[in-house]
């Protein structure tokens, strides 16, 4: 059973059927897909050096634009500590650069959250809440966040957080998944955003 099926419980069966198939992810299996991001936005220009630095961790990047090809691979695995994990590898193909936005997710059933470590090596931690909307879409929102400095994790006050909102659904008439990810800061506004569609390679 995948971490998403466990964390959602009975809600899982309210997801659109193709989303259920996508997020079932048995251990050792991968979901692979390709598509196009209609738009990719980033924060203000003065943050360019920070986004450029983020590329060294495969976490955020300074490029932006429209109609950017991308691929996604989610792999269910067992970590060294024995916990179930899902590795997320998102690759964006800009005209002159290939950029990544990678993460490793596991779950904390006591808190009812998914633990999301972003970057390789880990740079940022966010607790994620998963729930299903009335029309069967997947909704994800962030809660507590920490900056990761090796073995040290520094809690971030709300004012310094990148608040995450994700919506994913399935479009039957186009046989495609739709994704919208938005990361905002209370002071700065949009830090990072992408919106697009993708089709599974092996469904």
Per-residue pLDDT of the chain (203 residues; tens, 9 = 90+): 899 999 999 999 999 999 999 999 988 899 999 999 999 999 999 999 999 999 999 999 999 999 999 999 999 999 888 899 999 999 999 999 999 999 999 999 999 999 999 999 999 999 999 999 999 999 999 999 999 999 999 999 999 999 999 999 999 999 999 999 999 999 999 999 999 999 999 87
In 3-state terms, what secondary structure has residue 17?
Answer: helix
pLDDT of residue 106: 97
HEC per residue, the chain: CCHHHHHHHHHHHHCCHHHHHHHHCCCCCEEEEEEEEEEEEECCHHHHHHHHHHHHHCCCCCCCEEEEEEEEEEEEEECCCCCEEEEEEEEEECCCCEEECCEEEEEECCCCEEEEEECCCCCEEEEEEEEECCCCCEEEEEEEEEEEECCEEEECCHHHCCEEEEEEEEEHHHCEEEEEEEEEECCCEEEEEEEEEEEECCC
Do 72 and 198 touch, CB atoms closer than 8 A? Answer: yes
User: Model-level pTM?
Assistant: 0.95
Q: Which helix (H) or strand (E) holds 22?
A: helix 17-24
> What CATH number should be reported for the domain holding residue 74?
2.40.128
DSSP conformational letter for 137? -
pLDDT of the residue at 202: 81
Q: Roughly how many angstroms between the first and final C-alpha of the chain, as a whole number?
A: 19
Beta bridge mates, 123 = none
Q: Give me the domain span that covers residue 71.
A: 3-200
| Residues 106, 117: Cα–Cα separation, whole Å | 9
For CA atoms 56, 38, 181, 75, give the dihedral sign.
negative
How many independent structural domains does the chain possess? 1
Per-residue pLDDT at 79: 87
């Amino acid at each position: 059973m995948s971490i998403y099926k466990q964390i959602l419980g009975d809600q899982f069966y309210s997801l659109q059927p193709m989303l259920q198939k996508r997020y079932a992810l048995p251990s050792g299996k991968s979901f692979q897909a390709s598509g196009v991001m209609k738009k990719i936005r980033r924060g203000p220009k003065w943050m360019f050096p920070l986004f450029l630095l983020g590329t060294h961790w495969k976490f955020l990047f300074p490029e932006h634009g429209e109609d950017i090809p991308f691929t996604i691979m989610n792999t269910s695995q067992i970590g060294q500590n024995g916990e179930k994990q899902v590795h997320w590898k998102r690759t964006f193909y800009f005209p002159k650069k290939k950029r990544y936005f990678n993460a490793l997710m596991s779950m904390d059933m006591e808190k009812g959250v998914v633990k999301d470590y972003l970057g390789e090596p880990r740079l940022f931690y966010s607790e994620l809440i998963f729930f299903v909307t009335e029309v069967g879409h997947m909704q994800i929102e962030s809660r507590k966040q920490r900056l990761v400095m090796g073995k040290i994790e520094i809690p971030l006050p709300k004012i310094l957080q990148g608040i995450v909102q994700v919506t994913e659904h399935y479009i039957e008439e186009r046989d495609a998944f739709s994704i919208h990810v938005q990361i905002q800061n209370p002071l700065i506004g949009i830090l990072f955003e992408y919106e697009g569609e993708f089709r599974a390679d092996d469904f």
